[in-house]
Amino acid sequence: MNDSTNPRTPSLAEHPGVDDWISIDADGRVTVHTGKVDIGQRISTALAIIAAEELDVALASVRVARPRTGTAPDEGFTSGSNSMQESGVAVRLAAATVRRHLVTRAAARLGVGAEQLEVTDGLVRVRDTNRSVSFGELTGGAPLGIAVDPDVITKSPDAHRLVGAVRPVGGLEGLATGATRFVHDLAEPGTLHARVVRPPHYHARLEALDESSLASLGDVQVVRDGSFVAVASPDEYRAVRAVERVAAAATWITAPGLDTTDVFRRLIEDPRESFPVVDGVPLREPVPEERPEPVGGATLRARYERPYQMHASLAPSAARAHFDGETMRVWTHSQGIYPLRASLADVLDLPRERVVVEHALGSGCYGHNGADDAALDAALVARALRGKTVLLKWSREDEHAWEPYSSAMVVDLRADLDDSGAVSYWSHETFSDTHRGRPRAGPNRAGAGRLLASRYLADAVMPPRAEPNLAHHAGIHRNADPLYAFANRRIVKHLVRDLPLRVSAMRTLGAYANVFAAESFMDELAEAAGVDPLAFRLRHLEDPRAREVLAAAAQRMGMPGPAPHGRGRGLAFAQYKNSKAYAAVAVEASVDDTARVRLHRAVIAADAGEVVDREGLRAQLEGGFVQGASWTLHEAVRHDSGGITSRDWESYPILRFDEVPEVETIIVDRPGAPFLGAGEATSGPAAAAIANAVFAATGLRLRRLPLDPDAIRRAAMS
């Protein structure tokens, strides 16, 4: 068994049978089952490649089944860059077990020793003869009924023909032609189109609904349960217009409104629950005091701030639901079909086995956007209109104003430099609300309470109190403990509750802000020490893989070395969660006369262990950079006492196509090494590299995101 097949993967522990992962029908077609959903990260492609490689079948004969509760293995959420290390490992071991088992069957059928057989495209043949039998003939389409062998011998990397090979990116034709069907398109004949009538803000409750003014709505049906109000019609346009009519007929109790106190002040001053973090794990122990400042050397302090930010999925959330009086069926682009099923069953007061949740293509978000909430919205309407299929879509305003955001964060850093310019002490404190708002079942109906509509029902389920996440590099403290070899370090996480906006998981969770802060601060320390930023980092890095990607990105960018006139170059590095992919990002940027940051070039160097789907990995790394750049330069959720004010693309701008720089990506492939999740590796380094490049170009050190023209002008004025 090579190192990339870890038998301790939780996916295999929960689903140890090969039939949970691999099935082969009578004509030899292979189906791969997974609980991980594909939201554009190409996990389906990677799993198909792994299965075809280990089984020795043609890639074209492998399909990856769309996850559905009751048939797919329960792998929780597709999150945390865990898919390859969980589902990828499970599929590899299952496929290798199946191949060995079928070769043994073939040997018995053909009357030869297994060592005399070879497998090509699913055909088992006696070497040097024409005698053969296919995988399809050996299975007859029946389940195999055997367990996955965690010690099975998988292919040696030098025998790979599919893993790591460069191939054209497939599956784009339907996107380009419009043939691909998303959940938004699942409007079969007889479908009712539904929309939700939203209150002004989180705390508003419905006081009255003027029924007399709704008498002329025609075929539009109004569904009401407490303060949850929705409309449904066979005609989508009439449903959209009906929302306006019903909203005008509604009277809301709007006090109290949203708190408008400066959130960064609240993060520092409000009551909090604090934990020291040791080796990436928070401890229920007293937080140690900072050590006194040294007599010699230098001490630097800095505070970095991240605002609330949203997923801002390009298409709003949607879901389809049908309730026949016995079973609720839901089609959703949720990233966790099994946790969602449990929470839906709770809200709907149904046994779990009577709720079926199937993943459908939708706008991806790499986190917890409105998909789960839209699923409950659709289910509530379907329950009220029994026997009807309901397709419910959020509007752009719904998505911007009601999705769960990423928490605002404050990061306080201190470092001491000794007389040689090396870091002798490092203190990193992160203040944040929770990053765990997904509808995961827990005490006191926690999963149900995390679904938006549940709090507005007559039998309301209120959101649970956020509990601290004490896992390794999780939530608030993700990447708060840098990979650098600092002998003395103090890492502290502070959970601050009851802040004004609804928050949950977004790509990287707390890592984006923590890496932005730490890697910006590394540049500040390098300047104080009078050392080049690359040399300063290498001085404090012992991990050879970290050093390799950092040096590769810097060299390709021409660092150290002068940037073109008027431009600056910045560098940043992190290993995501200190256990996933290594990623270094170098950026060349300038600031124009309108105080707008212009990105000219970016170089990414990454090591994600063994590469299965090279183009998929490249897309993940570059997509993470682009999203990180958008957060860094543009994005901030804004609100007043009356609700969210950033409800469209003008009030919440994102990176535009003409702002994306030329991006070059260097991938370090390590055949046979463990898979290292890469989907979230570049976003944090992107932020710090951009901030460092802006400083190099202008001499302005900006520590509050986003680095938009207003922030640049304020920094220049001060």
Q: In terms of domains, do 105 and 236 share one?
A: no
**Which residue, 402, 424, 442, sits at the end of a domain?**
402
Does residue 247 surpass a pLDDT of 90? Answer: yes
Q: 175 in a domain, yes or no?
A: no
Q: In terms of domains, do 414 and 387 share one?
A: no
385 Cα distance to chain centroid: 34
Q: In terms of domains, do 142 and 247 share one?
A: no
CA distances to 157, 419, 608 from 50, rounded to whole Å, are 12, 52, 16
Does residue 700 surpass a pLDDT of 50? Answer: yes
**Which token pair is 387?**
């026997």
**Are 37 and 337 spatial neighbours (Cβ–Cβ below 8 Å)?**
yes
Q: 289 in a domain, yes or no?
A: no
When pLDDT is averaged across residues 64-68 and rounded to a whole number, the result is 97
Q: In terms of domains, do 648 and 516 share one?
A: yes
What pLDDT does residue 127 have?
A: 93
Q: In terms of domains, do 550 and 576 share one?
A: yes
CA distances to 297, 406, 533 from 588, rounded to whole Å, are 32, 27, 14
**Are 320 and 389 spatial neighbours (Cβ–Cβ below 8 Å)?**
yes
**Other C-beta atoms within 10 Å of 621: how many?**
26
- Number of domains into which the chain is organized: 3
DSSP character at residue 86? I
When pLDDT is averaged across residues 460-470 and rounded to a whole number, the result is 96
Q: 277 in a domain, yes or no?
A: no
478 Cα distance to chain centroid: 14
What pLDDT does residue 2 have?
A: 42
Amino acid occupying residue 338: Y
Q: 297 in a domain, yes or no?
A: no
pLDDT of 294-318, one tens digit each?
988 899 999 999 999 999 999 999 9
Q: In terms of domains, do 137 and 200 share one?
A: no
Q: Express as a percent the part of the chain with pLDDT over 70.
A: 99
Range of the domain at 99: 10-156
What pLDDT does residue 289 have?
A: 97
Exposed, middle or buried, 128 (CB in 10 Å: 0-12/13-18/19+)?
A: exposed
d(CA 72, CA 423): 49
When pLDDT is averaged across residues 445-458 and rounded to a whole number, the result is 97
**Which token pair is 219?**
């075929």
3-state secondary structure of 411: strand
What pLDDT does residue 591 have?
A: 98
d(CA 191, CA 359): 19
Does residue 6 surpass a pLDDT of 70? Answer: no
User: Which band of pLDDT confidence, cut at 50, 70 and 90, is reported for residue 108?
Assistant: very high
What pLDDT does residue 3 have?
A: 42
When pLDDT is averaged across residues 564-575 and rounded to a whole number, the result is 98
User: Which band of pLDDT confidence, cut at 50, 70 and 90, is reported for residue 7?
Assistant: very low
Does residue 435 surpass a pLDDT of 70? Answer: yes
- Residue 554 sits in a domain whose CATH number is 3.30.365.10
Q: Which of 23, 24, 22 is nearest to 134 (CA)?
A: 24
Q: In terms of domains, do 220 and 81 share one?
A: no
User: Which band of pLDDT confidence, cut at 50, 70 and 90, is reported for residue 5?
Assistant: very low
Q: Is the previous residue joined to 200 through a cis bond, with omega within 30 degrees of 0? A: no
Q: In terms of domains, do 15 and 125 share one?
A: yes
**Other C-beta atoms within 10 Å of 673: how many?**
18
Does residue 170 surpass a pLDDT of 80? Answer: no
Q: In terms of domains, do 385 and 419 share one?
A: no
Rg (alpha carbons) of the chain, rounded to whole number: 27
Q: In terms of domains, do 622 and 694 share one?
A: yes
**Which residue, 402, 418, 451, sits at the end of a domain?**
402
Virtual CA dihedral for 36, 42, 43, 46, nearest 10 degrees? 160
d(CA 562, CA 568): 8
Q: 70 in a domain, yes or no?
A: yes
CA distances to 108, 117, 126 from 131, rounded to whole Å, are 13, 10, 6
Q: In terms of domains, do 382 and 424 share one?
A: no
Q: Which of 522, 466, 515, 469 is nearest to 493 (CA)?
A: 469
Q: Express as a percent the part of the chain with pLDDT over 90.
A: 93
Does residue 441 surpass a pLDDT of 70? Answer: yes
**Which residue, 387, 402, 417, sits at the end of a domain?**
402
Q: 342 in a domain, yes or no?
A: yes
pLDDT of 388-424, one tens digit each?
999 999 999 999 999 999 999 999 999 999 999 999 9
Rounded mean pLDDT of the chain? 96
Exposed, middle or buried, 718 (CB in 10 Å: 0-12/13-18/19+)?
A: exposed
User: Which band of pLDDT confidence, cut at 50, 70 and 90, is reported for residue 106?
Assistant: very high
Helix ranges (H only) for 147-286 are 173-177, 236-249, 263-269
**Which token pair is 617?**
């990995």
pLDDT of 592-629, one tens digit each?
999 999 999 999 999 999 999 999 999 999 999 999 99
Secondary structure tally for the chain: helices H, strands E = 18, 27
**Are 398 and 316 spatial neighbours (Cβ–Cβ below 8 Å)?**
yes
Q: 357 in a domain, yes or no?
A: yes
d(CA 327, CA 336): 19
User: Which band of pLDDT confidence, cut at 50, 70 and 90, is reported for residue 214?
Assistant: confident
Q: In terms of domains, do 485 and 633 share one?
A: yes
Q: 180 in a domain, yes or no?
A: no
